[in-house]
Amino acid sequence: MLLKRLLPFLLSCLLSIPLLASAAEPREVDWLDLLPAEDYQAMLDMPELDHGNGPDANGDFTTSLRQDDNSLPEVMYSTRVVAAMDQQQIRIGGYPVPIESDAAGRYTQFFLVPYAGACIHVPPPPPNQIILVDYPAGIDLSDIYQPLLVEGLLQVAQTSNALADASYQLKAAQVTLYDGP
């Protein structure tokens, strides 16, 4: 009699285990996963760009992720997104561009970009290759050339500030230094 009452409960528990396991594990994504197919093709078809990683005519380095002119192919300004990425738990590697820190000096907000030194390279990545990361726990970003592995909830959301435009936001649950494969 007890077994007969417990059987539906035990069966539902067993059936829910795979669902719980898949919900807990974030999906590993690549930067190309954030590009719509038309932008991916446009980047493949684009001529090589000068990344001008030296000083400008005044001896200054660019310190912004913003594209100041409109001379590049349209895809370099693209805010188009992959809608299916919205509300996905993901894990992605990238490089930080610090924005805000807490009282202890740990960065709680930063942009994540696909390549190191994006804030001093021209041209910067397009907005659909920039993720605004909110990480309330904060992380010490003493070296912006050290790649990070960021896990959390990705949202399709346009953000604009003085430093950059971003097409994605990520509410980070965990940020660690990336050690490589």
**pTM greater than 0.75:** yes
pLDDT of 8-62, one tens digit each? 444 454 444 444 444 568 999 999 999 999 999 998 998 776 555 445 555 554 4
Q: Are strands 148-160 and 165-177 parallel, antiparallel or unpaired?
A: antiparallel
Q: String of b and e for 111-121 (b: at least 16 CB within 10 Å)? A: bbbbebebbbb
* All structural domains of the chain: 27-177 (2.40.50.870)
CA neighbor of 43 nearest in space, from 91, 77, 70: 77
Instruction: Give the separation between CA 142 and CA 138, rounded to whole angstroms.
Output: 12
> To 5 degrees, how large is the angle CA 24–CA 28–CA 30?
155
pLDDT of 70-121, one tens digit each? 778 899 999 999 999 999 999 999 999 999 999 999 999 999 999 987 766 5
